[in-house]
Amino acid sequence: MTEDRIVIAGAGPAGLVCAAMLARAGVSVTVLEAEPALPLNLRASTFHPPTLDILDDLGVAEPLIAQGLKAPTLQYRDRATGLIAQFDFGDIADMTRHPYRVQCEQFRLNQAILEKLGPMENVDIRFGAKVVGVEQDDDGAAAVLADGERVRGRYLVGAEGANSAVRDAAGIDFEGFTWPERFLVVSTPFDFTKPFPDLCMVNYFADPEEWYFLLKVPGLWRAMFPTRAEEDEESIMADETAQRRLRRVHDSGAPYEVKHKTLYQVHQRVAGRYRAGRCFLAGDAAHINNPLGGMGMNGGVHDAHNLGRKLAQVMTGAAAPDILDQYEAERRPVALEYINKHTIRNKRNLETADAAEQAAFRQELADTKADPEKTRAYLRRVSMIASLEQP
Ligand SMILES: Cc1cc2nc3c(=O)[nH]c(=O)nc-3n(C[C@H](O)[C@H](O)[C@H](O)COP(=O)(O)OP(=O)(O)OC[C@H]3O[C@@H](n4cnc5c(N)ncnc54)[C@H](O)[C@@H]3O)c2cc1C
């Protein structure tokens, strides 16, 4: 196979956005996906305003918006006392073409991009192609597949998620920690606007005993709860345990209809490097974080956009290869200082039992609401517009 192409491991949001950036610039790209078809698992469900701007440029925002829900506001609530503050992305409508979040399952993005890329002659998407290693030299890099085949290109992007084989093969550490508690996501068609008429589509509930969030996706509400470190998986996943957690949100007197339950381990980790020679990391392969703020998948799309643009410039001769060094310099600090910092702080604000911290969080929200400039600065941060300030 010619080296005049980019090889991407992983057909998740990061890999496919990177592929779309390259394909539209006329660069040949091969995407290697381990699964036999696009996975339909329920994972991230929030697309932030600047992510929608990026996806719009790639022609895939419209199908997402059509299949999802526009969420122009978000709320912080106290489980005991109700609404603390509501913010409206309309206040930053001059900063984005999409002043709202879109609530939609991430697999729909993957499907929309695949539909665009499928007919393109310069795109080769291979399913059932599990990457297990990497080889590289001065001219190119090859993904080594499980059956021993080498798929070679000028550069290789590891976008194959948290257990990245490219990252491991390149000897890059995944520094950080794993939270002791796992997070449980329960989806139900129960209409939470009945007990909470002022609810919006994105709602974070602070509670020192058991915080939670309620997110609306088409046809369902997703509730996410922390579990306790000592709880075993069987008891967490038992129907009665999910019912008990939901009853603490609202006791309707009848059992909840539960459509899905997912339990997952939550980490805060950032790769020690985003580049090793001709190999790059993007998305969860480069950084993973807790989901409070919806920054994981969005950050991965932003990585892919940044890296895809640079690789396209180098492949088409519009820029010298040195430009690729800027990728890590621009994106790794975002994962370390922005995504990590905000998601850890968001978790702390919801779970703290410390009265002074609780008061400070509520006061900060009140001060932010009271000052239009603070509100705009706050919305720039939570929408991740502020994380994209670099060229
Ligand atoms: C259960 C769960 C729930 C989540 N919920 C949220 C949430 O509510 N909010 C949020 O912001 N984030 C959430 N996340 C995180 C979010 O899903 C990720 O940040 C996002 O999927 C990252 O996209 P990605 O393209 O980097 O990786 P992925 O989406 O993981 O895609 C990687 C792709 O690579 C493939 N692959 C894996 N190994 C190989 C290999 N060796 N060779 C070839 N292909 C391979 C996989 O099959 C997959 O298709 C959740 C994650 C999990 C696991």
Average pLDDT over residues 189-206: 96
Atom of ligand 1 nearest to the CA of 129: 43
Residue 367 has pLDDT above 90, yes or no: yes
Query: For residue 162, which atom of ligand 1 is closest to its CA?
Result: 30
Residue 267 has pLDDT above 50, yes or no: yes
244: number of Cβ within 10 Å: 10
Tell me if 251 is assigned to some domain: no
Residue given tokens 């910092």 in the structure block = 341
Check: CB of residue 140 under 8 Å from CB of residue 153: yes
The fraction of the chain above a pLDDT of 70, given in percent, is: 99
In sequence order, the β-bridge partners of residue 385 are none
226 CB near ligand 1 (under 6 Å): no
Residue 371 located in a structural domain = no
CA 186 to chain centre: 18
Residue 288 predicted with pLDDT over 90: yes
Residue 283 and residue 15 in contact, taking contact as beta carbons nearer than 8 Å: yes
pLDDT band for position 391 (cuts 50, 70, 90): very low
324 lines ligand 1 (CB under 6 A): no
Q: How far is the CA of 113 from the centre of ligand 1 (A)?
A: 16
Decide if 203 is inside a domain. no
Write phi, then psi, for 386 (nearest 5 degrees). Answer: -65, -25
Query: Quick one: pLDDT at residue 390?
Result: 56
* Predicted local confidence at residue 304, as pLDDT: 98
Query: Cβ(131) to ligand 1 under 6 A?
Result: yes
Ligand 1 touching residue 293 (CB < 6 A): no
Q: What pLDDT digit, counting tens, does each position of 312-337 carry?
A: 999 999 999 999 999 999 999 999 99
Q: Which amino acid is at 120?
A: M
Tell me how far the alpha carbon of residue 47 lies from the centroid of ligand 1, in angstroms.
15
Q: Mean pLDDT across the chain, nearest whole number?
A: 96
**Which residue's CA is the closest to the ligand 1 atom numbered 36?**
160
| 210, part of any domain | no
How many domains, the chain? 1
Instruction: Decide if pLDDT at 356 tops 50.
Output: yes
Burial code (b: 16+ CB inside 10 Å, e: under 16) for 113-126 equals bbebbeebebbbbe
Please, what is the Cα angle at 293 between 343 and 61, to 5 degrees?
140
| 131-175 per-position pLDDT tens digit | 999 999 999 999 999 999 999 999 999 999 999 999 999 999 999
* CB of residue 158 inside a 6 A radius of ligand 1: no
Residue 237 lies inside a defined structural domain of this protein: no
The domain that holds 131 is classified in CATH as 3.50.50.60
Question: Strand 183-188 vs strand 220-226: parallel, antiparallel, or unpaired?
Answer: antiparallel
Quote the domain boundaries for residue 49: 5-72+96-177+267-348
| 8 CB within 6 A, ligand 1 | no
Summarize pLDDT for 69-111 with one digit per residue, the tens: 999 999 999 999 999 999 999 999 999 999 999 999 999 999 9
**Predicted model pTM:** 0.96
